[in-house]
Structure 1
């Protein structure tokens, strides 16, 4: 499962970015947009950091 988890995190990040944009365009509550955006940032960071070389 070496590369599967970061790939899934990056896919999740893409879905969350799309969800954030959709919420924003629909005029959803600011809190919902911010929370969804933060989750997208965390998923992206997690996926990218997981791919960095390091000690195994």
Structure 2
């Protein structure tokens, strides 16, 4: 359940970053949004990987 939510969040953040860029937002806002999208994607994917335990 959590990996799915993280990947959904990543999609929303990617869309937000693209939208911010198109609207001419500051570079900082776009970069922060994009970095959060990457972190959410990485978290979702890593959670799905088979782990020890």
Asked whether the two chains share a fold, i.e. TM above 0.5, the reply is: yes
Q: TM-score range by the shorter chain?
A: over 0.9
The two structures have a TM-score, normalised by structure 2, of 0.98
1:9 to 2:6 alignment? yes
Aligned to 1:54: 51
Structure 1 runs of 4+ aligned residues shifted over 6 Å read none
Unaligned runs of 5+ in 2: none
Task: Count the aligned residue pairs.
Answer: 53
Unaligned runs of 5+ in 1: none
The two structures have a TM-score, normalised by structure 1, of 0.92
